[in-house]
Structure 1
Amino acid sequence: MNKLSVIAGKSSEDIARKLSKKIKANFVKSQIRVFEDGESKITLSGEISKRKSIVVQSIYPPVDTNLIQALSLISKAKEISSEVIAVIPYMGYARQDREFLPGEIVTMKVL
């Protein structure tokens, strides 16, 4: 088993594939099924390293969908790998890093 895996989110599959080739890591592909109510189910195909995994997923529109998928991928990686690195080429909500008007939620603090 390889000591390193790259887990590809649907929004960044090409980047993840190139990264896995460059660093000679296992490539783990995600398959996503979307149900009628909008919920999604993710299935991973490929061997996830017990040592270290890199999850690659951009969080761009649809931001909320890609965010929940990223969190799900990271959660699964943490179940298996002792070390997990998240690579997020585009981070949605990055501009919501402080309260501009009274009462606004600082979403980046939540994330």
Structure 2
Amino acid sequence: MSELSVISGKSSENLAKELSKKIKANFVKSEIRVFADGESKITLIGKLSKKKSIVVQSIYPPVDTNLVQALSLITKAKENSSEVTAVIPYMGYARQDREFLPGEIVTMNVLGKLFKSAGA
């Protein structure tokens, strides 16, 4: 097995496949089941590397759904791999990178903390 795994989120499956071929890494597909209430259940199909994993998931609309799925994939990857890198081709909330008006939340700061906590 390769020392590197590329894990695809549903929003970037083709990109993840191409990346895994290009860098000769093990491709790990995610299977996502969405329940009636909108919750996602994610199952990884394939074996993760114990050394390094790359999670590929865009965070475009539906932004919150794709964000939670990305964080879930990163968390699972970190449980198995010693090093995890997140590749986010499109980052929702990127325009909320500073407080433009008093009282606005800098959502990118929040997301940075979430990604770090998840293991990326």
TM-score over 0.5 (shorter chain): yes
Partner of 1:84: helix, strand, or coil? Answer: strand
Aligned residue identity for 1:39: E
Q: Counterpart in 2 of 1:14? A: 14
Unaligned 5+ segments in structure 2 are 112-120
Q: Distance in 2 between matches of 1:15 and 1:91?
A: 15
Task: For residue 99 of structure 1, give the secondary structure of its aligned residue in structure 2.
Answer: coil
Partner of residue 78, structure 1: 78
CA distance in 1, matches of 2:90, 2:2: 28
Aligned mates of 1:66, 1:14 — CA distance in 2: 16
Shift of 1:2: 1.1
Task: Measure the CA separation in 1 of the matches of 2:67 and 2:87.
Answer: 13
TM-superposition CA deviations, 1:42-71 (whole Å, max 9, x none): 000011000000000000000000000000
Q: SS state of the match for residue 78, structure 2?
A: helix
| 1:42 corresponds to | 42
Partner of 1:60: helix, strand, or coil? coil
Q: Percent identity?
A: 84
- Report the count of equivalent residues: 111
Q: What corresponds to 1:107 in structure 2?
A: 107
Task: Please report the TM-score for the alignment, with normalisation by the length of structure 1.
Answer: 0.99
Residue segments in structure 1 that go unaligned for 5+ positions in a row? none
Aligned CA RMSD, in angstroms, stands at 0.5
